[in-house]
Amino acid sequence: MKRVLSDRYFLGRKCIFCDKNQIYRLKDNRIKCKQCNKYYSIQKLRTDMMVLYYFYLEISARKTANELELNYKTIQDRFMQFRKKIAAYCNQEAKKLNGEIEIDESYFGGKRKGTRGRGAKNKAIVFGILERKGKIYTNIVENVSAETLMNEIQNKTLKGSVFYTDGWKSYASLHQFGKHNIIEHDKELVDVNHNHINGIEGFWSFAKERFHKYHGIDKQNYPFYVKEMEFRFNHRNENVYKLLVNICIRRAV
C-alpha cells in the first residue's frame, strides 16, 4: 500500500483530521483530539486506508472483500461512500470552463438492443463539457433538448469561449455564447484547424472502459459513478491516492 500518512497518525500521536498533536487515548482505546474534538479508532483507520487503496486501484468490491477478508456488503457500501465524497468534491472544485471547449453527450448502461446513440432507451444520458488543456465537467441529463443542453452550457462555461460540437440540432443557438465550430465527422478526415472533439471522445472511451467491469449499476447511483470517472480523468496526472485520502479519510466527519 502506498505510504501517504506518517506513522504518527497510526501510533496515535497526531490527529488525522486537523493534523494537530493535541490527542489522547480514551478508555476504549480510541483516539480523541483536543483541538477538533473528533475521535476515531486507529485500527479502523488502518482498515479504511487499505479499503481506499483497493478502490484507488479500481479493484472490484467483491475482490477487495475476498482479499481483505471483509464483508462484501460492507466494502460495497464503503466504495459508494467514497464515490459520494468524490462527487461532492467535484462539485466544490468546479468552476466555469473557458477558452476552447468541446461539448458532447454519450449514453451509458441499459440494454444494447434497439436504437443506439441519441434516442437510445434504458440508458443514462451523460452530458460533457471539456476545456482543452483543462478539466471536464459531466452531468446526467433527462434529455438532449436545446433547453436542457443550453442551460448546462450557460451555467458551466464563460461567454466568449470557442465551442466545438457535432451537428446536433440542440446546439444550433450556441453561437449566442461564443464562436461555434461544427464538426462533420464524415468530411473532416484531416484536422488542420483543431476542429475536432477528440478530447471529449477520449473521455468517453476512458469512462466506458472502466464501466465495463460493473455488472449493472443502480440508476440512482449512476451520477456518483460518472463523477468518479470525471475525478479520475481530471486528476489522472496527479497523486490520486493521496488526493483520495484527503477527500475520503481526512475530511470525514
- With a cut of 80, say whether residue 113 has pLDDT above it: no
Stretch (H or E) spanning 178: strand 178-182
Q: Is residue 162 very low, low, confident or very high in pLDDT (cuts 50, 70, 90)?
A: very high
Domains of the chain: 7-93+240-250 (no CATH), 100-234 (3.30.420.10)
- What's the pLDDT score for residue 135? 95
Burial code (b: 16+ CB inside 10 Å, e: under 16) for 157-175 equals: beeebebbbeeeebbeebe
pLDDT tens for 19-54 read 788 887 888 888 888 888 887 888 888 899 999 999
Angle at alpha carbon of residue 250, lines to 248 and 251, rounded to 5°: 70
Higher pLDDT, 84 or 2: 84
What is the residue-averaged pLDDT of the chain? 87
Say if residue 119 is exposed, middle or buried (CB neighbours under 10 Å; 0-12, 13-18, 19+): exposed
DSSP string covering 228-246: HHHHHHHTTTS-HHHHHHI
pLDDT tens for 130-154 read 999 999 999 999 999 999 999 999 9
- The letter for the amino acid at 150 is M
pLDDT tens for 40-94 read 888 888 899 999 999 999 999 999 999 999 999 999 999 999 999 999 999 998 8
86/224 Cα distance (integer angstroms): 8
- What's the pLDDT score for residue 27? 80
- What's the pLDDT score for residue 22? 80
- With a cut of 90, say whether residue 164 has pLDDT above it: yes
pLDDT tens for 239-252 read 999 999 999 988 76
- The letter for the amino acid at 4 is V
Q: How many CB atoms lie within 10 A of CB 93?
A: 11
- What's the pLDDT score for residue 5? 60
Averaged over 213-235, what is the pLDDT?
Answer: 89
- With a cut of 50, say whether residue 253 has pLDDT above it: no
Share in percent of the chain as helix, strand, coil (round to 5): 40, 15, 40
- With a cut of 80, say whether residue 228 has pLDDT above it: yes
- What's the pLDDT score for residue 225? 94
The helix/strand/coil state of 143 is: coil
pTM, to two decimals: 0.86
- What is the 8-class DSSP label of residue 221? G
144/231 Cα distance (integer angstroms): 23
